[in-house]
Structure formats: structure tokens, C-alpha cells
Structure 1
Amino acid sequence: MAYQLQLLRNLIEGHPEQAGNLELHVRALEQRIEQLPDTCLASVRTIFEAAQASIGLSLNIEFGRDGLPGRMTKVIEAFDFTMTDHPDGDKIHEELSALIKGIEETTTALARLSNIPNMRHGGALDWAVLQRQHAYMLGGLCDALVSFLLDVAWSRPSKDFEAASGPSYDLAGAFNDNLDSEYELVEIAGSIFEPSRILFTLDATQYEAALTEWRLTNPADGELEAAA
């Protein structure tokens, strides 16, 4: 049976209008885990970015130039898990926040494991088995953490909530700079546009594909940031 991110799939089924193209990211990660487990970190990062961008807009979170873990910390801290109708509502908020933070820290540790030179998936004698186990762990933690945070956010009544559609343009600064250095600025009727912003605006799917490929070929700028 093919590997599935079941929690995220259940979330998408329950919130079809808010899910946007989250299913595309989920399917991409599932395929990478099964077929190319050593490259799944890029897809995990994309799902995290999509969730962060969506939740950040809803909760008015200013990310600035924070790395991926820093942005996730801000997301977790912005949530109020208190149950107002429960006598220990504040305690529930405290413990849930600690639990979610623990999952996030474990995910970061797995990302750091991916970045150890020549030890991408540890040092087990059965390299291929550990490689896939690592991918399963990373995918499972992503499934649990992202589905929970999005479920909490999407279950709140909000007309302005943004669907988790894909990576945020502002969170891919290094990639945008690289893209803009390869192509010339575009001038239309006196207005000048950056190539990266044009691609992001007019063809988000191709932008994301190029971003993922760039991260795979530039781990120092892409994947290492995931464990910063």
C-alpha cells in the first residue's frame, strides 16, 4: 500500500474550500517519500511554508527575515489553544503549545540530520532502509504538525482566512535573487518588474517547481535554512 499523509488528506477532505492546492503538495511529498526519499525535505519545507503563509495572514504574524524554524515558532506562539469552557483551559493551552513545539523541534532535528555531509540519513549498515525510515519519520511529523495547526486555524470562523496555496514569495528571497540575476528586468509601459515576481504571479506552479529544483541543487541556501 502506498504511503499516505492521512491526517492532511482528512483535513483537505473536511475543508475543501480552504485547502487550495494543498493536495498537490501532499501528493508530491508522498511520491518523494516512496520514490526519492533522499529528496523529500524540499517537499516538507514547501508544505510548512504553505501553512505558515496561510496562518500568518490569518493571525497577522510578521515573519520578517526569520528562518523556517523561527517562523514556525511565531506561528505556534500566535495560537491560543485555551478552551474557555474548560476549568483548566489555560493549562490545556500551555501543554498543547509545549507538545506542538516538541513536534516542531523533532522535525528540525530530522532536517539537521539531512544536512550532515556524507551522512544524509545516518550511518546504519542498511543505508537504503534507514533512508526510507528517515523519510517516513519526516513525513509523519509534517503530517501531524501541519494538519493540527491548519485544522485549528480553519475551524475558527474567519472570512479572511487564506488558503494554503503554496510558498510565499517573500519567504524565498535567496531563490528570487538568484532568478532575478539570471533574467533581465521586464519593462512594460514605463513600469519595471522583477522576473521572479512575474513568474510567481503568472505561473505559481512553475515558480514552485523551479523553487523546489533550486533547493535540491543549492542545499546550502535551501535545505540548510530548514534546520537553521
Structure 2
Amino acid sequence: MSARDNILQRLRAAPQGMPPLPPDVRAFYAAARAALPASTRAARCELFCEKMAFWHAEVVRVTASDWPEKLRQLCVAKNVRSLLYGEHTEQAAALVGAGISGLKPYDRPVDDWKQELFENTDASFTSTRGGIAETGTLIIWPDAREPRLMSLVPPIHFALLDAGKLYDTLFEAMVEQGWSDALPTNALLVSGPSKTADIQVTLAYGAHGPKELIVLLLVDEEETP
């Protein structure tokens, strides 16, 4: 009998115990939540901004009426000459109406304009599905209107986040948004600009993706500075 056969024989002959019970994830998070102060929108916004700053990202509070103009001003300040956007998104008309120069719609397969996309596009603008306050993370669900490369290729990534869709934890976001019902091909969790520690275990930013992440946090008028 080979060593392999001997091992398999011993495994088959071993007494069969009860299968382990799956963890009660809901109970775990309910207990963890009960031990913390009551969650508020203001507290989530503050924690999100704090965590984003830790990850070297910038958060700019905007309102429904002024975010396009604030974005235009940021593009001017950062010398953005071309801004990639989804021309069939809810925000497209506001972008065009703001008079942002160099608007560039993502309107063709990547192979048709790979060089222009990778070498001649300064920044991109995307929507988000929500955010996680605990870790300072954006939730992005790419689709045909806003392909995944929009948040991965240009050196600067502008992202619009509704403060009403900020959650305390990833688990809370998954439950309240019903992720189990339908997931996209790619669900992106973005915390700050791109980073790597592959070289001598030294954390470096902007090595293989956006060097800057600017979050436009959509709040009510009374929540602005």
C-alpha cells in the first residue's frame, strides 16, 4: 500500500463528527454595533473623511446644486485638460452644463483607443454605489456606462459619493443594498489612490493606477463648511 493510500484509508476510517455550524455573521455585527455609540450621518461623514485622509485621498464636501462647478474648479486647479466620463450616466448632463473643458466620453471599446486612454487622459469622473466609513472606502460597481478602466487608468480619479449612502461597515452595505440578489462582474472597493509595497516593503502611492483620488461628498446645504 502506498503512502497516499494509507493516508486516505486512515481518513476514511476516522470517526465522523458533527459538521461545524456556520458563523452567525448577523449576530456578530449586531453585538459589535450594540457596544458602540449610536451611528449618525454626521459621525459617518467625519470618520469617512478621517480615514480617506489617512489613505492620502481628498474629500470635498459639495451639494446637489454646486458639485459640477466645484468639479470644474478642481479640474482647473489641477490642470486637467481631459476628463473621462460616462456619457449615458445620470451625471452626464450636469458635467456638460458646467462647461468643464476637455470632457471625453468613454464611448468605444478599449482596443480602439488604448494609447489615448492610457497616455492622453488626465482624469476621470465616476459615480459610486456607496461608501464605508469604518475603512474610508468607496464602493464602485462598473458597468457598460462606466467601465472598470475609468477608475483604474487616469492619473486623477474624481468620484461622486452621496453621504446618504455612507455605511458604517462593509457588512451593513452588503445587507442594506441587497448584494446577494445581484452582483456585477467587478465590485470595486477603493481606499485612496493606488498603492503598493512590493518594493522593499515600502508603501508607495500611484505606482499602478490613479495618483490622486478626490471624493466629492454630496451633502445637504447645512452640512457644508
Asked whether the two chains share a fold, i.e. TM above 0.5, the reply is: no
Higher RCO (C-alpha 8 Å, min separation 6):
1
TM-score (normalised: structure 2): 0.24
| TM-score normalised to structure 1 length | 0.24
- The structure richer in strand per residue is 2
Larger Rg: 2
